[in-house]
Amino acid sequence: MRRQRVTVLAGGVGGGRFACGVRDLFADQDADLRIVVNTGDDMWFAGLRVCPDLDSVMYALAGVNDSERGWGRAGESERVSAEMAAFGMDTSWFTLGDLDLGTHIARSALLRSGTTLTEATQRLSRRWELGATVLPVTDAEVPTLVDVELDGHPARIHFEEWWVRHRAAIPTNGFVFEDAAAAGISAAAAEAIRDADIVLIAPSNPIVSIAPMLAIPGVRESIGASRGRVIGVAPIIGGHAVRGMAEQCCAVVGVPATAQGVGLYYGARSAGGILDGWMVDTVDADAIGPLAMGGIHARSVPLWMRDATTTRALAAAAVELASFRPLVEPAR
């Protein structure tokens, strides 16, 4: 009996939590679960390669994440970062915990020894029984940059500066996925998407976690060619982002910050988009009709991932939607 292949496309915080629900759902089925993760947040910081979304997903699956903050390690301390600040490094805007630094140092050493980010991520993940394979969407460096107005002058800053130092509270004109065209989806990520029995789009930020992945050549093609159904989970409930700043991000690019707006932004796979199905919350059930008009089969269930039980139930509902009778068999 061939193992069921389930692939999740995920950003950071919401992605890690959703990935845990999917892992729990298939725990007793020995499924081949692969999580393809956004790398647009990644940056060289204090000489170390920091990969926020890869770490959020890895730590969440390992059960060692700081579930309050949504990033970094539980039981963290910040002695090293205090020393860095004492030496006058302009690093205090981005908190690097001592345990978290262990990850960045190990990853940076691996990368400097010539491993790819995919290989380095496997090496780091092996420390825990994650129950899933964590894969960066690309091995290339494709930072998400943000065009802003700083002190009245236009500037292009790294996403993390925009997100953490400025809390997205400065005039913002757009997001740039620099060098995306020169990059390519990693072979492991392409295979994970193409030969999946089901592809799930986690309730991550559509603009700064999912869109950066779609900008990588080969990602849209892999989704379009996937043998499995593609089911997404809305990251917005009743017009409000579940967490993070999806509303600010949607406003920057003119996407309505609603379950319907994000679903139509992703688009129906039968029309060149990425979705076959879309999970919306019960308060957004009125979006089901308009989404069907757009070729997307939607279903409304409670989307709040309050705890492991509700997250597992959400994953189960998404998987169930994948077996819907097609509205029209998409031409592939």
Q: In the complex, which residues of this chain contact ligand FO1 (CB under 6 A)?
A: 11-13, 41, 50, 52-53, 55-56, 71-72, 94-96, 100, 160, 163-164, 209
Closest CA to 209 of 17, 65, 4, 5: 17
Q: Residue 192 — left, alpha, or beta (φ > 0 → left; ψ -120 to 50 → alpha)? A: alpha
- In whole angstroms, what separates CA 188 from the centre of its chain? 16
Instruction: Supply the minimum distance, in Å, between the C-beta of residue 161 and ligand FO1.
Output: 10
How far apart are alpha carbons 149 and 157 in whole angstroms? Answer: 10
Distance from C-alpha of 202 to C-alpha of 210, rounded to nearest angstrom: 9
Q: How far is the CB of 245 from ligand FO1 (least distance, A)?
A: 9
Looking at the Cβ atoms of 41 and 281, the one nearer to ligand FO1 is 41
d(CA 99, CA 108): 15
**CB 43 to ligand FO1: min, Å:** 9
For residue 330, the 8-state DSSP code is: -
Closer residue to ligand FO1 (CB): 204 or 260: 204
Nearer to ligand FO1, 72 or 228 (CB): 72
Rounded Cα–Cα distance for residues 15 and 55 (Å): 11
- The residue among 257 and 268 lying less far from ligand FO1, judged by its C-beta, is 257
Closest contact distance (angstroms) between CB of 219 and ligand FO1 is 18
Radius of gyration (C-alpha) of the chain in whole angstroms: 19
Task: Point out which residues pair with 280 in neighbouring strands.
Answer: 300
Minimum separation from the CB atom of position 227 to ligand FO1 (A): 30
Q: Which is nearer to ligand FO1, 164 or 283 (CB)?
A: 164
Angle, helix 98-112 to helix 79-86, in steps of 10 degrees: 80
Rounded to a whole number of angstroms, the minimum distance from the CB of residue 48 to ligand FO1 is 10
Cβ atoms of residues 38 and 52 within 8 Å? no
List Cβ neighbours of 202 (8 Å cut-off, separation of 6 or more).
Answer: 8, 9, 10, 11, 14, 15, 18, 19, 233
What is the phi/psi pair of residue 320, to 5°? -65, -40
Least CB distance to ligand FO1 at residue 12 (A): 4
Give the nearer residue to ligand FO1 in terms of CB position, either 39 or 260.
39
For residues 55 and 139, which CB has a smaller minimum distance to ligand FO1 in the complex? Answer: 55
Scanning the structure block, which residue is given the tokens 């770490």? 55
